[in-house]
Amino acid sequence: MSPRDAFFARTEQVADPDGRISAEMISPYPPGVPAILPGERYTPAVVDYLRAGLAAGMILPDAADPKLETFRVVARD
């Protein structure tokens, strides 16, 4: 899905985003490089990286839920 279409799509917050299409950009700091962009599909590796980084002290300035209890994904029709 294109980043624009995913960003402006109908969304929902889910606890387990594995296999779902992201509707947000999440750029943990440091290093400040996006780990996922709108339109990309979540994998277990990405979710594990984000949650491990958060536990280690990374800041998530652009996540809809900065505690990563839920993730913003494109809603299923």
Q: What are phi and psi of 5, to 5 degrees?
A: -60, -40
CA distance 12 to 5: 15
CA distance 65 to 76: 20
Whether residue 67 has pLDDT greater than 90: yes
Q: pTM for this structure?
A: 0.93
What is the per-residue pLDDT across 19-64, written as a single tens digit (0 to 9) for each? 999 999 999 999 999 999 999 999 999 999 999 999 999 999 999 9
Which domains does the chain show, CATH number per domain? 3-74 (3.90.100.10)
What is the per-residue pLDDT across 1-19, written as a single tens digit (0 to 9) for each? 999 999 999 999 999 999 9
User: Reduced to 3 states, what is the DSSP secondary structure of residue 44?
Assistant: helix
pLDDT at 77: 76
CB within 8 Å of 44: residues ≥ 6 apart = 18
